[in-house]
Amino acid sequence: FSKFLCHVAFCSALNGKFGCAAVFHNVEFTTTSSSGSNKGTVMPEIKYSRHLSGGLKISVWKDDLVTHKADAVVNAANEHLNHGGGLALALCRAGGPQIQQASDQIIKVQGRVATGGAVVTPAGNLPCKYIIHAVGPYVHLNPLKSDIAAASPLLDKAIQSIFRCTEFHNLQSVAIPAISSGLYNFPRDLCADIIVNAVKSLSYVRNPQAISLEIRLVNNDDPSVQEMLRACKEILGPSDSFSGAVQIQNVIVNTIAHDLDLSKGFVSKAISEKAGWKIQDEIRKRNKWNSVADGYVGETEAYNLNCRAVYHTVCAVKSLVTRCLKMAMNTFSSISFPAIGTGNLGFQKEEVAQLMIGAAEQFAKQHKGKKLDVYFVIFPKDTDIYKVHFSWGLCVLLKDTSVIYCRLWGLNQQPSGHRAPSLTSNETTNVVFLTAFFLALTGSAFYNSEKASETPYIELFADSSEALREAKAWATRILHKPEDITINNNHVIRFGQEDHEKLMSIQTKFNVLITEFFRNGKCGITINGERTDVSSAALEVEAMLLKAQEDFANAEENELLRSVVCWQAFPGSEEPEINAALEKTYLTGVDSKRKLQKSGLKIVKVEKMENNALKQVFELNEKRVLKFQQLYQCVTAQFCELICRVGFQREYAPPEEQKYGAGIYFTTEVETALKLWKDYEEEYIYIIEARVLTGQSTAGSPQFIVPPPTKDDPLVLYDSVTDANKDIFVIFNGQQALPEFLITFRICLTLSKSKFPWSGRRLIS
């Protein structure tokens, strides 16, 4: 991976397809930095994240502000906006001369910017919309306490000015560095305290109905990052997303004291704090004597934890592991264990490691044919356990002749004729590295246990576990170095001459063969060549397709908003531009109250899809086409968010065969949708329930690109076409359908194809 040069395209594709962020670890990219020196690029790394009241979110990042993607980045400017050094110079070099030109114009019109003030300019070529130039206070080297006391209110004023700029421009994210702490000599620790306290104060007074805002504290030097991290933890509390004991699994195991006090022990305390007070209350109520003996296992709800249940255990390592596995086997699909007894009880760490893994191995042999993912999670403070587990081995669940069982591999004593499978091996069903605490927590890394401190790996972050699993599956496929890759995306038809020239350039650059295809109403690109070259080329092509997809969505969204919101320019001024933000704000507040009709199927989750502009356009069409039906469409993960933004499009979900015309297909039943869209490769099925104006219908035909004329009047067209049984309807105008609910199902392979002959898969909850 050290030679993997397509990291930008990889991150872009992950974000565009799944809304997922990637962080590279132990990877050096030889790219020229913004300062002009040939240094390794700083890859984005999230250190802290916490949601606050008032629609605020604060996060701490190690990243380069020049390449950081946010609505706005903050520049530590001087009063004359002369960007001649430090961060200001780096931003200007990367963004182009227009940044300094815009700054000079501000000085010309309104004079210098006072200390504590902030102004906004366009960002030029930077990957953000605006630069907020904030003027922080300057103090002399080795300043006196009186100097710091005088400068501190000015720094706070500068931060408040930044907040006002974000509100005025309706920004949803802003990246703020440690202002004044560099060339201006302000103490770094106090700078961090002032910034974090300002964010905390803003959360108290900000309108909860205002647009959400993420304030990112972004620096590329470790001292500043560590101070921001310290200030956040001390002032705001622990991070939402990096609590050491929180494991996204079905059930997690907690080790507790005999007196049932969950505040004792690192793991138990972390679980208790995350779950909330109700978990302590429940375990007390279940045991009226408030005391339990060794070997106790009690189950409680998970409350605020990202799992379904918690097993609370007391001592007796081997028997506890076996008992917990038995309890979980018939109810849950995964279970996570800490290193039982190695904390306050002081058990020998190596002995505990051997007992726990031995118990899991023995249990697996006794229950062949059963599948249960078992995770051993190392608490971050337990570095000794980390070393013991690293030297002792790793646990792998392998698939062998349809039997799932547990096998142990010693790192230095592998059985002859065998090898320890890697995480990307096709034969590996599930791998748990005891040496990799982060893997058990995130489930998202490509890891080599032999050189834990040096091996490159990728960590993925997503808003939902479903998106994370889809992103992992896609990343594994595309990075597994196949000899050919087919990318299905109808937006290839929107490629222009410049795009095709870029395809030719990619073909030459990676020495691959790139072929576009158009068949049966579906389009895409096939790439053939050497394995590594194919993967690299595929990432760049994916990024191109996603850009075309986003450009199309933006154009459709603007046109949609233009049809429901009209602005009138003052005489003599330019025609106002549709930019979506103001129009969306204007339309906010209209809410549909209709509840989702029960489909009769077990589902993972149901999400309400809301777009007031789409709704108003649909209601206008509803006056013309009186008849509507609740119908379904099956889509892939990357189009769910786009459909919510711009509605249904022909390019998003063409079925395998378009028997009834080149339009937008819907079905009356979910099961019919699963049969119609049967070429499904993702781990989840995404069904959108929509209100569709079918109006007057007639029989469809493959030749139709628009509805046929009615018999009564050749100038009047039918509203839709359908199949003989009226199970499938096709419309030819996306504004005749309003997406209302996104229903997510999980799928798995099954030996029986009788229930779902369409793909040999069945739905599970």
Strand partners, 57: 51, 214
Which domains are seen in the chain, by residue range? 21-236 (3.40.220.10), 251-461 (3.40.220.10), 462-568+576-588 (3.30.1370.10), 605-764 (3.90.228.10)
**Sheet strands (E) in 241-313:** 251-255, 297-301, 309-313
∠ CA 134-136-140, nearest 5°, is 155
β-partners of residue 667 are 632, 728
Tokens of 370: 């059963």
Placement of tokens 């004023």 in the chain: 157
What count of other Cβ atoms lies within 10 Å of the Cβ of residue 478?
Answer: 20
What's the confidence (pLDDT) of residue 428? 26
**What is residue 39's predicted lDDT score, i.e. its pLDDT?**
42
The reported pLDDT for the residue numbered 179 is: 92
171: phi then psi, degrees, rounded to nearest 5: -80, 150
Other CB atoms within a 10 A radius of the CB of residue 513 amount to 12
| CA–CA dist 290, 283 (Å, integer) | 9
Question: What does the block give as tokens for 586?
Answer: 């204007």
The list of the chain residues with pLDDT below 50 reads 1-5, 30-41, 241-248, 380-453, 581-582, 585-600, 748-765
Return the axis-axis angle of helices 98-110 and 86-95, rounded to nearest 10°.
Answer: 120
- Contact status, residue 613 vs residue 645, Cβ threshold 8 Å: no
What pairing do the DSSP bridges indicate for beta strands 213-219 and 173-176? parallel
| Sequence-distant contacts of 722-728: CB under 8 A, at least 24 apart | 722/660, 722/694, 722/697, 722/698, 723/659, 723/660, 723/699, 724/699, 726/668, 726/697, 727/667, 727/668, 727/669, 727/672, 728/660, 728/665, 728/666, 728/667, 728/668, 728/672, 728/676, 728/700
For residues 729 and 605, is the Cβ–Cβ distance under 8 A?
A: no
Which residues are CB-neighbours of 597 under 8 A, at least 6 positions away?
630, 689
CA 11 – CA 21 distance, rounded (Å): 7
Whose tokens are 């890859």? That residue is: 43
What's the Cα-to-Cα distance from 259 to each of 287, 417, 631, 657, rounded to whole Å? Answer: 10, 50, 56, 65
Query: Which pair of structure tokens corresponds to residue 102?
Result: 């815009």
Tokens (6 digits) for 624: 């013309």
Residue 391 CA: distances (Å) to CA of 149, 346, 349, 412: 53, 20, 12, 9
